Chain A
Amino acid sequence: MVLLSPLDLALAALLIFINAGLSLLLRLGIGRQLLIAATRTVVQLSLLGFVLKFIFNLVHPGLIALMALFMVFTAGWEVMGRQKYRFTGPWSFGIGASAMCISSFIITLFALMAIIRNDPWYEPQYAIPLLGMILGNTMNGIAIGLDRLTQTLWEKKAIIETRLMLGQTFSESVADIRRDSIRSGLIPIINAMSVAGIVSLPGMMTGQILAGTPPMEAVKYQILIMFLIAGGAGFGTIFAVNAGAGRLSDKRHRLRLDRLRRTGRGG
């Protein structure tokens, strides 16, 4: 394996700086976010590198659960941060985090207990990376689905209210918006599965092969991961979009956009 020196990474970092410069030049307003995200990557991954060996030796179910909870909460926080319109009060974090719990948590448990069946099943060397990969991807689906839902409801307020005034239930009047939001959350993983192996070589599989794993074994793991991610993104997005739509209505079938507030962030 070719070892990378700090200088090699510095060369790669040049790309980030050039892009940030372009953003400044073209007034894209994304440069700051790009730099912050890149810095976070370096800091977070380095930290993980330091502690991973420690975590992998830590075959204690309570501590692993704590680590997993921390990961899920961070993901919920991240989902909230990406919304242009946020739910007021604890709902913004609550909907994102509970959707992550329901999708990623349960699916990881399912994969560990029913498919991988290691002894013990919570062996951190499998549990933590698996949860991490599923979280990272379902998080995208949930964030996109919710963002689409709240934005469309905001834009189509007048139409939804007209449908309500004609006697439709809240569910009927937002049915197509809800469907579109769920679809848009699932598109990234569908795209990823469609081009896997032809256009994109998935990172985990490539890494395993680089590290010397027989390609077919790596492929099997990659297929497993893809299916788990698709399942997680599906459950998570459906749950989050439904919970979000529910929060934006009340028992008198009104559209309650007063339960959203606009933030400066998001697309």
Chain B
Amino acid sequence: MTGVTGASVARYWSAFRAVLTRETLRFIKQRGRFFAALVRPLIWLVVFAAGFRAALGLSIIPPYQTYITYEVYIVPGLIGMIQLFNGMQSSLSMVYDREMGSMRVLLTTPLPRSYLLACKIAAGAVVSLFQVYAFLAIAALFGITFSPAGYIAALPVLVLTGLMLGAIGLFLSSQIRQLENFAGVMNFVIFPAFFLSSALYPIWKMRESSDVLATICGLNPFTHAVEAVRFALYLEMAPLSLAVVAGVLVAAGGLTVIGYDPGRGLRTRQGPEA
């Protein structure tokens, strides 16, 4: 690639704006997706948390300075859930786009393919932010609030975690041959990622039952996404979690660029004969 001139910066920005606008328009038009994205964590917050609250005792653990209710504990986890589902939804739409042909329009744009794929990931992350802050607004109605600075401090972390989950989703979509296979793969990704994490219960609580499971939870990148968000909401840094999230983002993004086969949809639809 030649040097990046002012004109080419504008060109790159224009392409990102194109992808972001398209993803946003699609999201707005898919109202069901928005409501599902909000209802899912709200059910956890309002219904499940009520039951779990009595069963789980939470001690004071960082970043909390005092005893907290279970509802307060799981909000970062539910934010992670929103981004996790959004990342997977984005990857599903990418498989759909590939099957329907619209990925070809993107991938025949005369810009580096790695950049175009990064645009898709970034646009998905931005869309997830709308959902996260809408959820936080509703959570506030239930009395779960953070400091104004906490909401702001969480933003860059949410961008990072959204990018990581989007990159993982894109990597998965690059490995899926047909749309029909997607649901199965998701079942083996979303649920283990969510339940084997610190989203619903602290890892120390998990360790009381099983060291092995607690170790798995500790290794799960989604755990680190949740913890990074949790600490940011309380104006604290979680360096290890941030490093893990950034590392997984780079790894998943790199693997996607290396492994993405733009001709896959072409061959799937045309068959090897054409």
Do the two chains belong together in a single complex?
Answer: no
